[in-house]
Each structure stands twice: as C-alpha cells, then as structure tokens.
Amino acid sequence: MNVLRQVISRRSIHLAPRLPLETTYKENGIKGLMSAQQFQTAWCDYQSYLTRNLTLRTVDSEYETRTPMAIALSTAKDPQKADIFHYASQAHNNHFFFQQLKESSPFNENEIKPSLLRSLQSTFQSMENFKNELLLAADVMSGNGWVYLIEDENKILKIVSCNNDGTPYLYTRNQSVDLNATFEYSDFKKLQRQREDLKNGVKDYSLPLLCINVWEYAYLVDYGVNGKAEYLEKLWDSIDWNVINKRVFSNIEM
C-alpha cells in the first residue's frame, strides 16, 4: 500500500487550467464573440481532450511533470515524438489564446501600453493597418493553425503564421510554410535559410504577444463553415489588451 501511494504521488496528470471567468463563460459565453456552446466546445471540451491525450503520452516519462510549453520545446525537433509535440503545442496555444479574451467592447487604443502602441504604429504605420494585416493572415490560412504577433530579439514586431500545430517559439517548428498548399520558390528559400540557421546553431528568441486561433473548432458552432471572416472581425473587439501589455514584460510559462 505504501509503495502504491508513493508511485501515485510521483505521477502528474495534465489538466486544463481554469480561466478567471470560466464559470461565467460556461453559463453565458463570451459576449459578442462566443456562445456558451461554442465556449464549451473550443475551451472546455477541446482543452480537456488535449491535456488528456498529453497525459496518456507522457505517463512515466521525463515529460510527465513539465508544462505543455516546456514539453513542446523539448520535443519539437524529435520526429519520433511528434504526437507528444502535437498535444503539448496545441494545449499551450489554445490556453495562450483564451487567456487574452474578454467580452466584446469597441477597440480603444488607449488600453495599449504606450511603448507597445508606439511599436505597433511604427511597424505597421497605424493600428488599422495592423488589424488588417493580422486578420488577413488568419483569413488566408487555407487550413487550421494559429497567427501570432511576436517580438523578436531585436524588439521588432512581426506577424507569424503557424500552420496546424506550429509553435511561435522555434523557427524550425513554427510551420509558417504550408506544405499542403502551392509551394513557391520564396517558400523554398525560406526553408533553406531555416536549415542553414539550424546548422549554424542560430537561436530563436521570439516572444509571442497575441494569438489568433484559426482552427475550425474555435468558430464553427457559432459562425458555420462560411463564418471565418465574421469570427475574426468580432475577435478583434474581444482582445484584452491588459493581458497583451503584461506579456511584453513578463516571461511566459504555461
């Protein structure tokens, strides 16, 4: 009995973290963005599915007690651990996305920390241009994936598209080139540069700040198969810039 108790105490089950307003969202949805049913599907059901499968694939392994982010970073370069990477990366991405949501309200740039606002306006010329570029990147994604606003090691802001289960933390696994779509010469050159960077030991210091969920489960219940553009427009007004502000100056570990 004592041995069994010791074994159980060492095991760690990956569970879906609770969002601050999860109870409210379960009952009422996220006003202006998601119904209660859509929230149940996209957060409660899907996040539980991801963490349950992550637990099954990491039990009795070195990844058992690590966070999804740490697991994703540790397994990203190992093809034999692609299934572990998938569930870890998806669990982190989905949590990162839902953390930044709030009930819909008209966009107010005064909610953005001045230094971040200046960077956005300098990089994209205006907040309207930034919005258009961000949502366009999500709209033209032909399949499932994530679109991130990141800050690189030079404090330069960039929009990065991560197809499928791609992660924004590693250029070698952000999957910004969709290999299932038309493959252009510029895509080939981009992959070549990444290969050379990997060969030369170039590190990736990307800091993700904002995430757009472009997986169908995030909008299909409320918006239907043709409602992606409407979902993205409403999503813009549900971004909690207080969360984004904190990400600029904090270390992310989820």
Confidence of residue 250 (pLDDT cuts 50, 70, 90): low
Closest CA to 50 of 5, 100, 13: 13
Q: Within a 10 A sphere around the Cβ of 211, how many other Cβ atoms?
A: 25
Mean pLDDT of 209-224: 98
DSSP character for 17?
A: P
Interval 33-44: pLDDT, tens: 999 999 999 999
Dihedrals phi, psi of 122, to nearest 5 degrees: -70, -40
Residue 5's Cβ-count burial label (10 Å; 0-12, 13-18, 19+) is: exposed
Report how far residue 89's alpha carbon sits from residue 75's, in angstroms, rounded to the nearest whole number: 10
Residues 6+ apart with CB under 8 A from 63: 70, 71, 74, 75, 84, 88
13 or 31: which carries more pLDDT confidence?
A: 31
Confidence (pTM): 0.86
Phi and psi at residue 89, to the nearest 5°: -65, -45
Other C-beta atoms closer than 10 Å to the C-beta of 249 total 10
What type of residue sits at position 61?
Answer: S
112 has a pLDDT exceeding 90: yes
What are the distances in angstroms from CA 40 to CA 13, 25, 86, 215, 230? Answer: 21, 8, 21, 15, 20
Nearest 5°: the CA angle 204, 18, 169 is 5
Q: Which amino acid is at 98?
A: F
113 has a pLDDT exceeding 70: yes
Q: What are phi and psi of 250, to 5 degrees?
A: -125, 155
The arrangement of strands across the sheet holding 145-151 comes to 157-163, 145-151, 207-213
Is the Cβ–Cβ distance between 207 and 150 less than 8 Å? yes
Mean of all residue pLDDT scores within the chain: 87
Confidence of residue 202 (pLDDT cuts 50, 70, 90): low
Q: Is the pLDDT of residue 188 over 60?
A: no
Assign domain 22-247 to its CATH superfamily. Answer: Iron/manganese superoxide dismutase, C-terminal domain (3.55.40.20)
Q: With cut-offs at 50, 70 and 90, classify the pLDDT of residue 154.
A: confident
Q: How many CB atoms within 10 Å of residue 165?
A: 22
* CA gap 46, 42 in Å, rounded: 5
Please tell me the predicted confidence (pLDDT) of residue 6: 40
What percentage of residues in the chain have a pLDDT greater than 90?
73
The secondary structure element, H or E, covering residue 71 is helix 68-75
Q: Could you tell me the pLDDT band of residue 185, with boundaries at 50, 70 and 90?
A: low
